[in-house]
Amino acid sequence: MSSFRSLLLLFIIVPILEIYLLITVGSFIGVLPTVLLVILTAILGTYLLRIQGLATMQKMQNTLQQGQLPAEALFEGILLLLGGALLLTPGFFTDTVGFMCLIPSVRQYLVHWLHQRLQVVGTSAPPEHPKRPSTIEGEYRREDK
**DSSP label at 135?**
P
For 45-101, how does the pLDDT look when each residue is reduced to its tens digit (9 = 90+)? 888 888 888 888 898 899 888 888 888 888 888 899 899 889 888 889 999 999 998
Domain ranges across the chain: 13-122
Q: What is the pLDDT of residue 122?
A: 47
Per-residue pLDDT, averaged over 102-123, amounts to 79
Question: Where are the alpha helices (H) located in the chain, listed in sequence order?
Answer: 3-29, 31-65, 71-88, 92-102, 104-122
126 φ/ψ angles, rounded to the nearest 5 degrees? -70, 155
Identify whether the C-beta of residue 79 lies closer than 8 Å to the C-beta of residue 101.
Answer: yes
Q: What is the pLDDT of residue 16?
A: 93
Give the separation between CA 31 and CA 22, rounded to whole angstroms: 9
pTM score, whole prediction: 0.71
